[in-house]
Amino acid sequence: MNAVPREVSAHDPLSFSQETAVVIGGGIVGVCCALYLQRGGYAVTLIDPEAPGNSTAKWSCGQMAVSEVIPLSKPGILMKIPGWLMDQKGPLALRPGALPGIVPWFVRFLMCARHAKIVEIAQSMATLTRDVYADYAPLLEACGDKTLMGERPVLEVFDDPAALTHEAPHVALRESLGFKVQRLDAKDIGDLEPALAGKFAHGLKFDDWRAVKDTMGFIAALTESFIAQGGHRVRTEARGIDESNGQATGVTLANGERIAARHVVVAAGTGARRFFDALGVNLPLAGIAGYQAVVSDPGVEIRHSIIYADGGFCFTPMTRGLQIGGTIEFASHGAKPDFRRADIILEKAKRVLPQMRTSQVEYGVGYRPFMPDTKPVIDRSRRLGNVYMAFGHGQLGLTLGATTGRLIADMVAGRATKQNLEPFSAYRFS
């Protein structure tokens, strides 16, 4: 990335401009919020301790999963969870030490397993995902690289017809909401993805999904665009939100410095928990670890981002290499990553692609900020009326980054939002 983030201090004259905003969190949701506020005429400061692009979404499958509106609590997943938990090589793992802390979250999660609740959640999420490409368009147009977003659809493959049959009600729900799903047979799969020829006879093609060409590069390019257009990025932690008379007055940084602002946006993923007292909320926000392996020289061509449903992971070709991931783990807050989970992914991937070279592999983990109903929080604080919340996107942070940014900018400006945001209220669990 060519642009160098400018360090901002409390003495910066822009800090006291009439229309200023600070965004806490420089991942995909945070940078999109910053860009949309910037487009609205605000002087914006973006705060994040990591380098641009080094965030949770970097370690994702990179998909614009516009019809992934069915909550994780769908019955098919619930039936698999006990077996996965007993099999530490399965797609989902639970560390014993995490059990006491995760039980309340799981209880709420199970409450979302009723069919009526699943439909309600899917309908609400679809109101957001229908606008994904329109919302990203102006942000990507301002970037120098016009190829950040891929053009190919995403595939999902299954080991046997029973798995596809079990998925049929959810496919029907997606189609009823206007999303495109095409059934694939062995020939279709082989034609679309020669490396999988003869390996799978059952699949789906999501014609309205896309994958970015590189998750890290995608976020870094948007950050560079933000800076090139006059934005400021401070590489440090935000320690607290300053306030006076029921309004936020700015943000205090890790070194004690303060940045004044008329508006504050908390878009810090799992890091948002630090600000719950200031926001006046107590939310069931869990950080679920998602492990990834990037094979930089795989020696095999994969053309599409491919979900291997029964394996519980996906392949996505990126400029950094072939990214393989999807396994998730519940662990205690602050627990160190267990990269044996990434070894498991790689082992399974080699069974599907035995010709794949794995001499150059990078492992990573992203902590997905999940609410029990798998819906994000997009709301204004009732305690501090000029502070806004944009977190809890789970596996859809990359997908919903730009849409969330537009909605936050509308709220900050006092405009009516296109979508009804009641389903995404921070107070829905009260």
Across residues 276-295, what is the average pLDDT?
94
pLDDT at 4: 35
H runs (alpha helix) in 204-275:
215-228
pLDDT at res. 7 = 39
Question: What CA dihedral angle connects 115, 116, 118 and 119, to 10 degrees?
Answer: 120
- Contact at 8 Å (CB) between 412 and 266? no
229-233-235 Cα angle (round to 5): 160
Record the pTM. Answer: 0.92
Higher pLDDT, 407 or 76: 407
Indicate if the pLDDT at residue 79 is higher than 80. Answer: no
pLDDT bracket for residue 74 (50, 70, 90):
confident
pLDDT band at residue 62 using 50, 70 and 90 as cut-offs: very high
Instruction: Name the CATH code of domain 69-122+150-211+285-370 (choices 3.30.9.10, 3.40.640.10, 3.40.190.10, 3.40.50.1110).
Output: 3.30.9.10
Look at the domain 13-56+217-284+374-424 and name its fold: FAD/NAD(P)-binding domain (3.50.50)
| Cα end-to-end span (Å), the chain | 43
How does pLDDT run across 153-186, given as a tens digit for each residue?
999 999 999 988 988 999 999 999 999 999 999 9
Contact 59, 365 (CB under 8 A): yes
**What is the rounded average pLDDT of the residues 245-264?**
97
Q: How far apart are CA 169 and CA 181, in angstroms?
A: 12
200-215 per-position pLDDT tens digit:
999 999 999 999 999 9
50, 28, 42: which is closest to 229 by C-alpha?
42
pLDDT band at 403 (very low <50, low <70, confident <90, very high): very high
Range of weakest confidence among 93-107, 248-262, 402-416? 93-107
Q: What is the mean pLDDT of the chain?
A: 91
Maximum mean pLDDT: which of 70-79, 106-115, 223-232: 223-232
- Three-state DSSP class for 397? helix
Q: In this model, does residue 351 exceed pLDDT 50? A: yes
pLDDT confidence of residue 85: 61
Residue 387's SS3 state is strand
Give the rounded percent of residues in the chain with a pLDDT score beyond 70.
92
Higher pLDDT, 80 or 399: 399
Chain centroid to CA 210: how far?
14
C-alpha neighbours within 13 Å on the C-beta side of residue 23: 33
* DSSP string across 93-104: EE-GGGHHHHHH
Average pLDDT over residues 318-323: 96
SS (H, E, C) 289-320: EEEEEEECCCCCCCCCCEEECCCCEEEEEECC
pLDDT of residue 388: 98
pLDDT in tens, 233-247: 999 999 999 999 999
DSSP 30: H
Can you say whether residue 256 is alpha, beta or left, with left for phi > 0 and alpha for psi between -120 and 50 degrees?
Answer: left
**DSSP-assigned letter for residue 21:** E
Residue 230 near residue 38 (C-beta atoms within 8 A)? yes
Q: Where are the domains of the chain?
A: 13-56+217-284+374-424, 69-122+150-211+285-370
The 247-253 sheet, strands edge to edge: 238-244, 247-253, 258-260
